[in-house]
Amino acid sequence: MIPVRGLEGRDVAVLGLGRSGLSAARALLAGGAAPLCWDESAEGRERAAAEGFPLHDLTRDDAFRGVAALIVSPGIPHLYPAPHPVIDAALRAGVPVDNDIGLFFRSLATPGWHGFDTAPRVVAITGSNGKSTTSALLHHILTDAGYRAQLAGNIGRGVLDIDPPGDAGIVVLELSSYQTDLARALTPDIAVFTNLSPDHLDRHGGMGGYFAAKRRLFAEGGPDRAVIGVDEVEGRFLANQLSEAAGDDRVIGVSVARKLTGPGWSVTARRGHLSESRKGRQVAAIDLRDIAGLPGRHNHQNACCAYAAARALGLAPRVIEAGLRSYPGLPHRSQVIAERGGVRFVNDSKATNADAAAQALQAFSRIRWIAGGLGKEGGIAALTPYLGSVAKAYLIGHSARDFALQLGGTPVEICETMERAVASAAAEARPGDTVLLAPAAASFDQYRDFEARGDDFARQVNALP
């Protein structure tokens, strides 16, 4: 646990008692603060009471009298589309609003660090797509190389639940826009921006607000090094703002769309080959094409980002390559479930929007595509350029019929359920085909989350005769 520093002896309100909220309450208590807990749900309040935390109704008119700060869980809106009433009351009362990420960065460094030979370092990774894989991949590379590394944030453990890092310890954080938008302290040693595509726009008041939330990771604390995906204009703008000159090697540019030239530091992947260049010269290269855990262009971008961050931490290219090759992949992200009769079954349930599904459709050929669920704004019309590899679509969930109307001449079967979709796709697949779950939709019409949807796909595949 990371005890919270700087709030000793103060009353601190905690709103939202899920994983991050309860973790924050424990860390506040460990640091000498007095957490006052509240959740709109009786279940959340019961969890806090079971751990002995005092409940404090934050909806009362005088709820913030004597309160030093309000700590908010990431799912609770603080600005757009409208502030939660409790947060609005805190803003009106002048009570600072923060989250567990802000508490983590203000509390991580301790006087004991002066006795370390090498101070601990934090790598924070954000972006629209690929940040989970990039984070897990970097953590794997580090641990495979013998480093003491911990994985936390939006993946793995809550940030305040990790062990205090020791001498030369490394913390790898995956951070969503919900987390970076509100944190009052953001001071990673290395910050990574994978890419940007429209997502969570209602929560951030549009694309500009969404990018601004991501940008805070780089602007608030000023990382020593920044790894920036520059295939979108926002990434190019961010890299430009952080660089003092074209050869400024504090910024490492990443691209899978073009070969980056010039005197700076870059990592690119073209046609499955990763290339690192510095001062206009290639210094290392890795063939990614036969790495089973990283199929497709989108995973090659993840590999480039993880490689660049590992290089910034001082790892040698061949050490990083060994970690790339032994990476097993993340559940629900291009995860190979089985191979039967020459047919591969791949679970990419995390592809919850059209952009993520487009990446999956480009990673394989001869696809039997299982898609559908609770469709998002725009549906799947943007996927038209990527349907050439789709032999047939098997559509499930609430948006199945809407999706069918957007698929043009692609053969379609309305299956509605995962069981029917897997059975039909498996029966029609031929050797060399890939049965791919890449829903391009949210899961909440049939499942509690994308993990449950992916687990159901795996169950149906494993139950095939």
Burial class (CB in 10 A: 0-12, 13-18, 19+), 162: buried
CB hemisphere CA count around 306 (13 angstroms): 31
- Residue 171 · residue 165 · CB < 8 Å: yes
Q: State yes or no: 187 annotated in a binding site.
A: no
Residues making up the chain, counted from first to last: 465
Q: State yes or no: 214 annotated in a binding site.
A: no
User: 22: how many CB neighbours lie within 10 A of its CB?
Assistant: 24
User: 47: how many CB neighbours lie within 10 A of its CB?
Assistant: 17
Q: Both tokens of residue 405?
A: 């109307």
Q: Both tokens of residue 289?
A: 């094409």
Q: State yes or no: 347 annotated in a binding site.
A: no
CA angle 130-75-9, nearest 5°? Answer: 115
Q: State yes or no: 264 annotated in a binding site.
A: no
Report the alpha-carbon distance of residue 167 to residue 299 in Å, rounded: 32
Q: State yes or no: 378 annotated in a binding site.
A: no
User: 235: how many CB neighbours lie within 10 A of its CB?
Assistant: 22
Q: State yes or no: 133 annotated in a binding site.
A: yes
Q: State yes or no: 127 annotated in a binding site.
A: yes
Q: Which residues are annotated as a binding site for ATP?
A: 127-133
Q: Which residues are annotated as a binding site?
A: 127-133
